[in-house]
Structure 1
Amino acid sequence: MSTWKPPLRQVSLRVLCFLPHVTATVSTTPKTLAARIEDLLPQTQCTKCGYPACRPYAEAIAAGEASYNQCPPGGQEGVARLASLLGKPVIPLDTTHGVERPRPLAVIDENLCIGCTLCMQACPVDAIAGAAKQMHTVIAELCTGCDLCVPPCPVDCIAMIPVTGDATGWDAWTQEQADAARTRHDRRIARMERERMEAEARASARQASRAAQAAPEAAPAALSNDDAEAKKRAIIQAALERSRKKKEEMAKLGAGPKNTEHVSAAVQAQIDAAEERRRRLRMSDPNADPNEDSNDSGSDTPR
């Protein structure tokens, strides 16, 4: 089993010069517990721990939501590393998440591959090259042996071949390989987020273009509706004006309404209903004088 040495903490040296004095200060940026835990994980991004990647697993350990013995690729040495960091006892690897094993390499059978790209979409570190309807291949130097490309393959053309002999866990994996795998995983996540945002931007642009094309068609309909409302108001205004003039002419000739003092209840109800209709018509006319009496005839009809 290899001898593990803790990674050196990054230290930045800052020199501030002020004449005639020179002051040297050393500043460090301490890492969070989750980040320090992540540094000790093999970065295979295999999800065997029960989390979607190594970083979420590290955060769960730091929060006390997961145990530090759930990483099969790290093996028993990985458990020991985490126990040392956390100040906890070394416990056995939880084999319900998988067993410590030699590191495998994904190999694609070229004769069976149909170029569906599903394995490429599943690979967390972009270790598979290919194109739609073209034969795919695994870049051996980049494969972490995570097994994630196997389940989605519809023709079962991917095999996981052990390539490290009897070496398992961290004996089959180096810190340099882990760091490189983490970098590729982070780049993949950033690329996928960028592609998602670009796709949403294109969808928004298409929607805006369709809306702009539909606007000229909707404008005549809206204009037609406005014309209809204006025409209706003009008809109402003309009718009210004719009624007012007719009442004025009849009043000048002494032909105003008769018997307005002693009317029956039924007739008075009809008069009130007519006045109410005229009042509503005036309210619907924006050009009508709101202070003008709805009884244009000037009669003393009871209200």
Structure 2
Amino acid sequence: MNLNQQGLAERIDRALPQTQCTRCGYPDCRRYAEAIAVGEAQINQCPPGGDEGVRRLSTLTGRPVLPLNPENGIEATRALAVIDEDWCIGCTLCIKACPVDCIVGAPKQMHLIVAEQCTGCELCLPACPVDCISMVEIDGQKTGWAAWDPALADAAKQRYDFRQFRQHRAELENNERLQRKAEAKLADVAAASKLTDPVELDNKRAVIEAALARARARAKSGA
């Protein structure tokens, strides 16, 4: 992606509703924006943005307005996820699935959805093993950007970005922990090198060094 495409992707991303619902066929709004910018995706793949969203992307990209692609979904009224507390088993799977961290709770305890933060992405629905989550309409006949204003989109993007940062940090910390553990194990093997079979120790050392190399590679790439 060149600089012009990067700039276009930034503008497109800001024009998207930031529900992070993945209905566009990409992992998040940013990835969809990048795909549009490089010509890999059409501007009519975002159901939450609706027809108004397509028009906004048309203005940004210079591409003609297209009908919303039904393969990605339809423009609908805004809805919020609601958990039936009588059926919730506290499995935390919905918490892990929520892209904007709007579900709170602890293992084996009933969870709660913060209505003001829910984007209506519906990703928590398939994650729930007991089907205790449902979607409730809240804005009558309003759809697309008429039901989802820029302030809500900005707030959702901030929560999503922070979640990505938190998960990335946790991964780095885990990689560092594994690296320290591997280094300690390698030191133990080295200390015992004069007490046991050299061939066996060489094999153990090779396995540990390989694991240590993988941990270092993960920490360096941030993957």
TM-score > 0.5, shorter chain as reference:
yes
The aligned residue for residue 211 of structure 1 is 186
Aligned counterpart in structure 2 of residue 148 of structure 1, from 116, 119, 123: 123
The aligned residue for residue 39 of structure 2 is 64
Higher relative contact order (CA 8 A, sep 6+): 2
Instruction: Using the TM superposition, give the Cα deviation of residue 169 of structure 1 relative to its aligned residue in structure 2, in angstroms.
Output: 0.3
CA distance in 1, matches of 2:171, 2:93: 18
Instruction: Using the TM superposition, give the Cα deviation of residue 222 of structure 1 relative to its aligned residue in structure 2, in angstroms.
Output: 7.2
Matched, 1:190 2:139: no
The aligned residue for residue 172 of structure 1 is 147
- The one-letter code of the counterpart of 1:210 is K
- The one-letter code of the counterpart of 1:180 is A
CA distance in 2, matches of 1:182, 1:35: 13
Matched, 1:73 2:48: yes
Cα offsets for 1:88-146 (capped at 9, x unmatched):
22221111100000111000111111111110111000010011111111000100000
Instruction: Using the TM superposition, give the Cα deviation of residue 215 of structure 1 relative to its aligned residue in structure 2, in angstroms.
Output: 2.9
- Pick which of 191-200 and 214-223 moved more: 214-223
User: What residue ranges of structure 1 are gaps of 5+ in the alignment?
Assistant: 1-30, 224-303
Matched, 1:82 2:53: no
1:236-251 superposed matches below 5 A = none
- Aligned pair count? 194
Cα offsets for 1:151-175 (capped at 9, x unmatched):
0111111001111110000001010
- The one-letter code of the counterpart of 1:211 is L
**Larger helix fraction of residues:** 2
The aligned residue for residue 136 of structure 1 is 111
Aligned counterpart in structure 2 of residue 124 of structure 1, from 84, 99, 103: 99
Instruction: Using the TM superposition, give the Cα deviation of residue 220 of structure 1 relative to its aligned residue in structure 2, in angstroms.
Output: 2.8
Aligned counterpart in structure 2 of residue 44 of structure 1, from 13, 19, 30: 19
- Report the 3-state secondary structure (helix = DSSP H, G, I; strand = E; otherwise coil) of the residue aligned with 1:116: coil
Aligned counterpart in structure 1 of residue 80 of structure 2, from 62, 84, 105: 105
- Report the 3-state secondary structure (helix = DSSP H, G, I; strand = E; otherwise coil) of the residue aligned with 1:213: helix
- The one-letter code of the counterpart of 1:51 is Y
User: What residue ranges of structure 2 are gaps of 5+ in the alignment?
Assistant: 1-5, 199-223
CA distance in 2, matches of 1:206, 1:90: 56
Supply the RMSD in Å over aligned alpha carbons. Answer: 1.6
CA distance in 1, matches of 2:123, 2:153: 17
State, as a whole percentage, how many aligned pairs show the same letter: 55
Report the TM-score when normalising by structure 1. Answer: 0.62
